């Protein structure tokens, strides 16, 4: 029996495994990199051990360091979570060699499904339907080009190892293939340590359906229903739900049979997910993830099961707790992934400090899986997932309603997130109608990513009220520390010598600067807003930013989070970001000169496409920056000549760092 469990992961999945382990009475051991020394999973575990520097290859991907930590802590089992070493056969073998139980499938099953190319060949032998494509070992670009031509464009280039959308590119025409192959290889090597690629027919408007399977060492294998993961961005899942909307019982039975056949073909044990791409007429095997999935909570929600507990019991040698006929599904569940990323800037990752983290209070049908707290940092080295929000209801409509409210009640300040984007998806009529496919986001992009709107009168009033209340509190505290606390210069009432008691509060709202004039009126204020309207405002501001406000007698509660000059207002499900403008402070210097190209995000330079003196045309790729396992290519904004290149491959860059100089073409 397992007594002491080491979790070889971080973030929300580490915290999620810790919950089940504690409930089962297991002692827990966390491991952490230098970047995660103060992380939540470290604080919540019974024991925590360091395993190396921030880069994953030196810590969470370092097999020797993880095994050494397990031995040092006396752990008799390791749960790898997902990502990192979860699908690494060599790690599973290292655990066995050390006498430690690996909570996952046998190494042979991991290897069989770890290579998409080899897995496709195996599935073909097992009679599982496949998408037309090339899965061969010859990676010569000419061979891949010939295969793509034979398949017919558009094609999908993707990494043979790994998943999560890394190393994947859609190629619409032959002229795009070479660049797509280079980018996919680089990304695959960086994310999975394996540059091998495969080429498949790209299906338009397909659905992504996956089946949760479980198997034990006694020959039993069952499914726990399917999940629909069709809403994706850059081949990464954004929304997942169970069961799949509109799936007939006949199609469900067919997909389940294919999934179980796939698991049996590799002698599978434990939790696994078999992924399919489906059209109206057919479905095809994509891959098998030999681990727990990010979206497993929706399966838990409809079945009432704890999949981590099942993993632990099966690793101990137990039989499956239920037979297939005993597994039932009730209601509907939907999960969204909350990321530190900026949708307005093409979803660039946003590493940084989380000044405020607020999630809905526990309520019926709502679950939050997270690994962060206020004050934590989203490191640049790892996936920018902040949390998963899961809502369950008796039917899909009630699950949508609960998820909509949960998103409205979520507050993240300090980094930009995709919260508004997720709310737009969940609130879209096409989503409510179940019109799901992998092109959903691209098709509805304008509605899901509207141009940023001004903060509006109400948000400006709340921000100004909070600012004035904070200044009043600071003045009172400062006065209490002086020798003459009753001096008129220490008053917090807006008193002025020979002047009316008013103050102009300047705000930066997007690209505009707006002014709110505040007149001091006893304990409250009279605010004149940029549109000329006036209102009476008063309230109480708590230290955590919770504002109980009255605007012209209408009372409401909001949260106003301040970090330096940056102010975020959360109210009524909306989020507005403003910045204090100080007219006495010298304006920050802008770009020093035209022609300087800067890093769009902090990260590492993964490719330099040009050299000093090279002439380039508008749109030519110049330099590639990688952060959080995603690449961003900086391109030439106009024709020009490269005057200087300031960084090399492997260099770390901060957001805004000058990457290179592009001089105007003669």
- C-alpha 361/C-alpha 406 separation (Å) is 9
Contact yes or no for 428/448 (Cβ under 8 A): yes
Place of tokens 């558009």: 154
Longest dimension (CA), the chain: 91
CB 394 within 8 A of CB 402: no
Residue 46: count other Cβ atoms within 10 Å of its Cβ: 15
Tell me the C-alpha to C-alpha distance, in Å, between residue 370 and each of 231, 291, 406, 603, 633: 21, 19, 14, 24, 30
Three-class SS state of 162: coil
- The first and second tokens of residue 52, run together, are 């190396």
Catalytic entry in 291, 380, 419, 577: 291
Q: Is 291 a catalytic residue?
A: yes
* C-alpha torsion angle, residues 482, 488, 491, 494 (rounded to 10): -150
* d(C-alpha 492, C-alpha 468), whole Å: 10
Q: Which of 156, 208, 158, 199 is nearest to 438 (CA)?
A: 208
Question: What crossing angle do the helices spanning 307-315 and 296-303 adopt, rounded to 10°?
Answer: 100
Angle at 310 between CA 304 and CA 315, to 5 degrees: 180
How far apart CA 26 and CA 12 sit, in angstroms, is: 19
Contact predicate 581/513, CB 8 Å: yes
Q: CA-to-CA distance for 200 and 401, rounded, in angstroms?
A: 38
Which residues are catalytically annotated? 291
């Amino acid at each position: 029996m397992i007594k002491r469990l080491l979790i070889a992961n971080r973030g929300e999945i580490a915290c999620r495994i810790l919950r089940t382990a504690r409930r089962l009475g297991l002692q827990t051991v966390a491991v952490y990199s230098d970047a995660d020394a103060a992380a939540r999973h470290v604080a919540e575990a019974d024991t925590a051990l360091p395993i190396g520097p921030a880069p994953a290859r030196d810590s969470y991907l370092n097999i020797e360091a993880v095994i050494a930590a397990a031995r040092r802590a006396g752990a008799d089992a390791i749960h790898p979570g997902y990502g990192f070493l979860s699908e690494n056969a060599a790690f599973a073998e290292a655990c066995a060699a050390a006498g430690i139980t690996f909570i996952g499938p046998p190494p042979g099953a991991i290897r069989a499904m770890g290579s998409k190319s080899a897995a496709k060949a195996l599935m073909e032998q097992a009679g599982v339907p496949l998408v037309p494509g090339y899965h061969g070992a010859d990676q010569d670009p000419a061979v891949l080009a010939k295969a793509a031509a034979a398949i017919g464009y558009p094609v999908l280039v993707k990494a043979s190892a790994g998943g999560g959308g890394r190393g994947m590119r859609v190629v619409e025409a032959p002229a795009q293939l070479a660049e797509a192959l280079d980018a996919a290889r680089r990304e695959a090597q960086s994310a999975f340590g394996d540059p091998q690629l495969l080429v498949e027919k790209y299906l338009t408007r397909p659905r992504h359906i996956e089946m949760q399977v479980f198997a034990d060492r006694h020959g039993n294998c069952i499914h726990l229903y399917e999940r629909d993961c069709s809403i994706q961005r850059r081949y990464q899942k954004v929304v997942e739900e169970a069961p799949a909307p509109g799936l007939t019982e006949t199609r469900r039975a067919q997909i389940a049979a294919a999934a179980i056949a796939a698991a049996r073909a590799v002698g599978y044990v434990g939790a696994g997910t078999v992924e399919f791409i489906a059209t109206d007429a057919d479905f095809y095997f994509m891959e098998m993830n030999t681990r727990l999935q990010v979206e497993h909570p929706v399966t838990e929600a409809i079945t009432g099961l704890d999949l981590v507990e099942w993993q632990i019991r099966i690793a101990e040698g137990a039989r499956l707790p239920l037979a297939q006929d005993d597994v039932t599904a009730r209601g509907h569940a939907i999960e969204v992934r909350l990321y530190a990323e900026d949708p307005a800037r093409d979803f660039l990752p946003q590493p940084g400090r989380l000044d405020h983290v607020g999630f809905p209070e526990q309520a019926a049908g709502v679950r939050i899986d997270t690994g962060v707290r206020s004050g934590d940092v989203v490191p640049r080295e790892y996936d920018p997932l902040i949390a998963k929000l899961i809502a369950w209801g008796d039917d899909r409509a009630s699950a949508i309603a609960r998820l909509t409210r949960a998103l409205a009640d979520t507050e993240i300040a300090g980094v930009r997130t995709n919260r508004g984007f997720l709310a737009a998806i969940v609130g879209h009529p096409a989503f409510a109608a179940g019109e799901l496919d992998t092109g959903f986001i691209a098709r509805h992009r304008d509605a899901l990513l509207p141009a940023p709107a001004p903060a509006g009168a109400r948000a400006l009033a709340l921000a100004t009220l909070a600012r004035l209340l904070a200044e009043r509190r600071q003045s009172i505290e400062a006065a209490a520390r002086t020798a003459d606390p009753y001096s008129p210069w220490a008053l917090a009432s807006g008193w002025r010598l020979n002047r009316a008691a008013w103050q102009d509060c300047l705000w930066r709202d997007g690209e505009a600067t707006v002014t709110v004039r505040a007149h001091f009126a006893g304990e409250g204020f009279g605010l004149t807003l940029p549109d000329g309207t006036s209102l009476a405002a008063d309230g109480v501001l708590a230290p955590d930013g919770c504002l109980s406000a009255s605007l012209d007698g209408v009372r409401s509660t909001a949260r106003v989070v301040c970090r330096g000059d940056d102010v975020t207002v959360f109210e009524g499900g909306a989020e507005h970001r403003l910045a204090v403008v100080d007219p006495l402070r010298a304006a920050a210097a802008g770009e020093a000169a035209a022609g300087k190209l800067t890093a769009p995000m902090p990260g590492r330079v993964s490719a330099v496409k040009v050299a000093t003196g090279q002439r380039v045309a508008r749109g030519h790729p110049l330099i590639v920056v990688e952060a959080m396992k995603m690449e961003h290519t900086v391109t030439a904004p106009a024709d020009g000549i490269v005057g200087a290149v300031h960084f090399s491959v492997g260099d770390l860059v901060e957001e805004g760092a000058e990457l290179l100089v592009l001089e105007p073409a003669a």
